[in-house]
């Protein structure tokens, strides 16, 4: 059976489309080629979409009367309203695409998520803490959507973290967004406890407290509060020490069922996993195998031990 691809938005230039102001592209093979088998790319170029042409005059974000405006660099033509009209239409269209992530071109005045230069009316850069117009509207409209810039996806750790958030978002929309009950949020939380431990005990405690005291909340408020905390927690990368805490927690429950020799092998693999050079996937795979063999559904059915085929192939699970 063919697995349906996941819809992921992406800045057009990163796909190799020649949409840059100078007629070139910013093709990102480490993203596009590596993930093409699992993702259906939804290409967006705001600047081409508002008919600025290729090649074209560059554009800048400029502070004018305490407001950020989008201006052409040389002629200073104000494109703000035109861009806002496009953004409104595009976000509505993207809502129908059921996206589970978005990869943006870094530092772009339209697509940059962070560190975008903001100029004063004199043309001098005031600071580099801006967001591109489209990027800012995207994260405001879809606050739980995993979004990353290509410049922040250069390392394997960063790419694995983005992938993890993408697949978690897919589960979230499937299990929670489509349900009107608070029970769906509670079940989602219980299925993701070990995964959350791997991102740090602190965020898990916050989510545990929310779930423990959720009764006065409406289903909509619970989903909003939980989603904010959960996806913020996943932004913290899984480090070897954090992963080891999660692995040890599972191992403690599994330990009484294991043969002494097997127990020692797994324990040594977990100790090795604290080393940056040792793969987390080795003790993870051992524990997953034993959980299946010893019929511990409460642990085996945790999201951390049930990655989809695509997640297993693309992320550290399959390394």
Same domain, 147 and 190: no
For residues 137 and 161, state if they share a domain: no
Kindly state whether residue 1 falls inside one of the protein's structural domains. Answer: no
Answer yes or no: do 184 and 36 share one domain.
no
Q: Which two tokens stand for residue 309?
A: 């085929």
Q: Is residue 200 part of a domain?
A: yes
Q: Quote the crossing angle between the two packed helices 156-172 and 219-234, to the nearest 10°.
A: 170
Domain end among 152, 174, 204: 152
Residues 232 and 112 occupy one common structural domain = no
Of 152, 174, 196, the last residue of a domain is 152
> Which residue, of 99, 132, 152, is where some domain finishes?
152
* pLDDT score at 167: 96
Tell me the pLDDT tens digit for each residue of 149-178: 999 999 999 999 999 999 999 999 988 777
Residue closest to 140 by CA, chosen among 102, 197, 180, 194 = 102
Dihedral angle sign, alpha carbons of residues 134, 136, 138, 141: negative
127 token code pair = 């600071």
- Burial of residue 133 (CB within 10 Å: 0-12, 13-18, 19+) is buried
Of 75, 137, 143, residue with least CA distance to 110: 137
Domains of the chain: total: 2
In this structure, the answer to whether residues 256 and 287 fall within a common structural domain is: yes
Q: 133 and 67 in one domain?
A: yes
The tokens of 307 are what?
A: 């990655």
Q: Are residues 130 and 166 in the same domain?
A: no
Is 204 part of any domain? Answer: yes
Q: Please tell me whether residues 109 and 248 are part of one structural domain.
A: no
Predicted TM-score (pTM) of this structure: 0.93
* Residues 168, 213 contacting (CB under 8 angstroms): no
Residue 185 lies in a domain: yes
DSSP letter at 111 equals: T
pLDDT in tens, the chain (319 residues): 457 899 999 999 999 999 999 999 999 999 999 999 999 999 999 999 999 999 999 999 999 999 999 999 999 999 999 999 999 999 999 999 999 999 999 999 999 999 999 999 999 999 999 999 999 999 999 999 999 999 999 999 999 999 999 999 999 998 877 777 899 999 999 999 999 999 999 999 999 999 999 999 999 999 999 999 999 999 999 999 999 999 999 999 999 999 999 999 999 999 998 886 778 999 999 999 999 998 888 899 999 999 998 998 888 775 5
Q: Are residues 83 and 122 in the same domain?
A: yes
Residues pairing with 87 in the sheet: none
Element (H, E) at 78: none
What is the tens place of the pLDDT at every residue in 50-69? 999 999 999 999 999 999 99
pLDDT score for 319: 58
Please indicate, yes or no, whether residues 164 and 219 belong to a single structural domain of this protein: yes
Phi, psi (deg, nearest 5) at residue 270: -65, -40
Centre a 10 Å sphere on the Cβ of residue 148 and count the other Cβ atoms it contains.
21
- Its domain, for residue 23, covers 6-152
Same domain? 138 vs 181: no
Q: List all residues 6 or more positions away from 116 whose beta carbon is below 8 Å from its beta carbon.
A: 61, 107, 108, 109, 128, 130, 131, 132
CA atoms of 237 and 156, how far apart (whole Å): 11
Closest to 282 in 3D by CA, of 298, 302, 260, 267? 267
Q: Same structural domain for residues 131 and 277?
A: no
């Amino acid at each position: 059976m063919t697995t349906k691809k996941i819809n992921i938005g992406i800045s057009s230039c990163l796909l190799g489309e020649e949409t840059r102001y100078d007629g070139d592209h910013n093709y990102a093979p480490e993203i596009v080629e590596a993930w093409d088998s699992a993702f259906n790319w939804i290409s967006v170029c705001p600047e081409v979409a508002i008919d600025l042409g290729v090649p074209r005059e560059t554009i800048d974000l400029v502070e004018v009367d305490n407001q950020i405006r989008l201006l052409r660099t040389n002629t200073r033509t104000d494109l703000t309203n035109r861009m806002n009209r496009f953004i409104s239409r595009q976000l509505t269209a993207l809502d129908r695409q059921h996206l589970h992530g978005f990869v943006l071109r870094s530092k772009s005045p339209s697509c940059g998520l962070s560190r975008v230069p903001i100029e004063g009316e004199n043309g001098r850069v005031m600071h580099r803490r801006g967001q591109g117009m489209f990027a800012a509207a995207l994260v405001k409209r879809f606050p739980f959507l995993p979004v990353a810039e290509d410049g922040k996806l250069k390392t394997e750790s960063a790419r694995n973290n983005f992938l993890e958030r993408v697949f978690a978002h897919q589960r979230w929309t499937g299990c929670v967004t489509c349900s009107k009950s608070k029970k769906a949020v509670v079940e989602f939380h219980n299925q993701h406890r070990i995964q959350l431990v791997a991102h740090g005990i602190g965020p898990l405690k916050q989510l545990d407290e929310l779930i423990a005291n959720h009764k006065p909340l409406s289903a909509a408020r619970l989903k909003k509060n939980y989603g904010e905390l959960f996806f913020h927690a996943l932004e913290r990368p899984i480090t070897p020490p954090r992963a080891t805490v999660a692995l040890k927690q599972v191992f403690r429950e599994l330990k009484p069922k294991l043969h002494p020799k097997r127990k020692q092998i797994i324990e040594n693999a977990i100790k090795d996993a604290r080393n940056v050079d040792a793969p987390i996937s080795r003790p993870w795979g051992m524990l997953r195998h034993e959980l299946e063999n010893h019929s511990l559904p409460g642990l085996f059915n945790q999201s951390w031990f049930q990655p989809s085929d695509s997640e297993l192939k693309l992320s550290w699970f399959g390394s």
